[in-house]
Amino acid sequence: MSKKRGKFFQKILRANFGFKSYYNSELVNLNLKKWEDNMAKDAIVAENLTYRYGDLTAVDHISFAVKEGEILGFLGPNGAGKTTTVKVLTGQFLPMEGRALILGKDISKDREEIQAEIGVCFEEKNLYERMSAVENLRFFAQLFGIRKFDPYPLLKKVGLEKREKDRVESYSKGMKQRLMVARFLVNSPRVLFLDEPTDGLDPVSAETIRKVILEEREKGVTVFLTTHEMMEADKLSDRVAFINEGKIAAIDTPENLKHKFGRRALKVRVREKGKVVEKELPLDEKKVAKDIINLFANEDIVTVHTAEATLEEIFIKITGRRLE
Ligand SMILES: Nc1ncnc2c1ncn2[C@@H]1O[C@H](COP(=O)(O)OP(=O)(O)O)[C@@H](O)[C@H]1O
Ligand SMILES: [Mg+2]
């Protein structure tokens, strides 16, 4: 390491870890290595991951990685293989080919160790209906061996603090799902696997859950989120994977996907023979300026707005099928 670079790292180390160190000391090098190792590690790695139900290959040799603190949106229609992927990643099903590493450990080998550090949410609700929200959370805290557990901050986070003593059986679907969210946060997981967590919920519950997901990401938690809603994937994900027939058709940031595959367009509504019709002018073509001038000179314009491609349009373009 050059002297200059060493000084620079010392400064960063002091700023980040608050300890004094000396240039070229063992301590600097050791901590520097730790610091470099900690930078943007992969929290989830899937290599050639495959799962079959009889003859049907539901997860078909998929490979991807999710960095610590990243939200990966796993977007695909019903039957695409989302739930099966989550089950293989979280150790409920053993992979038939390939492997999954969670926090650097192989899920086929270190399942229990991994499960203590992750939070999982499936469609089936494993809550005790006859118990209250507080009792449910206390019970799960006990399972995790957490001694001093205060359920109230979690209940507040998901907006259930006023109904916390009512039996879960009296809750709406959205309230139960919010309690599920509080439940999977009990062990302060470092990685979350959420299988369509907002599917079919009322808007307030869905928004509460989305907010919690973003708050967890802010804390550095990694999130694997399946959805068939393009808006949700677009809004929450750092990167989106398109899944179709068990395969990943594309994986990138929403912006890059739109940039690579989408077209921007000007949507113009004009009045023609007493009727309002919508016209689209592609913005990425060379003659666009001429078209726009023509339009404004010759048409009776009602409204104009620009439209970027949606993830659903791009999904259709790449896979040939819709998300619904
Ligand atoms: N237990 C099962 N037995 C047989 N086939 C299944 C089973 N579960 C799912 N499948 C099939 O596997 C494929 C993927 O399903 P799934 O992972 O549930 O997709 P998604 O969650 O994206 O809707 C579908 O064709 C589905 O019908
Ligand atoms: Mg599913």
147-166 per-position pLDDT tens digit: 899 999 999 999 999 999 99
Are 154 and 173 within one domain? yes
Rounded average pLDDT over 185-200: 96
Is residue 313 situated within a structural domain? no
Residue from 49, 62, 74, 83 whose mutation best tests the ligand 1 pocket (most atoms within 8 A of CB): 83
- Whether the per-residue pLDDT at 323 is higher than 60: the answer is yes
Q: How far is the CA of 82 from the centre of ligand 2 (A)?
A: 5
Q: How far is the CA of 58 from the centre of ligand 1 (A)?
A: 6
86: burial class by Cβ within 10 Å (0-12, 13-18, 19+)?
buried
Give the residue numbers spanning the domain of 295.
263-307
The ligand that comes nearest to the alpha carbon of residue 82 is 1
Is residue 191 situated within a structural domain? yes
Is residue 217 situated within a structural domain? yes
Please report which helix (H) or strand (E) contains residue 4, including its range.
Answer: helix 3-17
Q: Find the range with the poorest average confidence among 17-31, 100-114, 147-161, 222-236.
A: 17-31
Question: What are the φ and ψ backbone dihedral angles of 138, each rounded to 5 degrees?
Answer: -60, -40
Q: What is the pLDDT of residue 9?
A: 59
Are 235 and 293 within one domain? no
Are 29 and 173 within one domain? no
